[in-house]
């Protein structure tokens, strides 16, 4: 892996680990239902538990790891696309952090 894609991959993994640590710290002692989604009229559309919130981050971690594997495979032949995917990985990780931050803010 080139240095640019390696740094981008580490940054995206940092954001996902930051998200997982936020979930652990904030929702460690919560046993009640958690508001996952509100509609435009501020009505509840989805309630969940802390395992549902954790599941969002674990699935996003799996997607980030899959993208890192794809970047490593694609980099030999398609350098530009691999770099775009690695920087898209950072954007995806930041968006997941924002979503989890919104769930924490609502609750």
What backbone phi and psi angles, to 5 degrees, belong to 48?
A: -145, -175
* Domain parsing of the chain, residue ranges: 3-106
Tell me the DSSP string of 54-92: HHHHHHHHHHHHHHHHHHHHHTTT-HHHHHHHHHHHHHH
Give, for 47, the enclosing helix (H) or strand (E): strand 44-48
pLDDT at 52: 84
pLDDT at 35: 76
Enter the pTM of the model: 0.85
Q: What does each of the 107 residues of the chain score in pLDDT, given as a tens digit?
A: 789 999 999 999 999 999 999 888 887 777 777 777 767 776 766 778 888 888 888 999 999 999 999 999 999 899 999 999 999 999 999 999 998 888 888 87
């Amino acid at each position: 892996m080139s240095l640019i894609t390696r740094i981008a991959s580490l940054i995206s993994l940092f954001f996902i680990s930051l998200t997982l640590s936020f979930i652990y710290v904030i929702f460690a002692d919560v046993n009640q239902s958690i508001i996952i989604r509100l509609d435009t009229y501020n009505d509840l559309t989805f309630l969940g538990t802390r395992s549902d919130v954790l599941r969002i981050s674990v699935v996003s971690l799996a997607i980030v790891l899959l993208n890192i594997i794809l970047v490593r495979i694609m980099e030999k032949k398609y350098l530009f696309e691999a770099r775009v995917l690695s920087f898209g990985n950072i954007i995806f990780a930041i968006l997941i952090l924002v979503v989890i931050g919104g769930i924490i803010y609502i609750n």
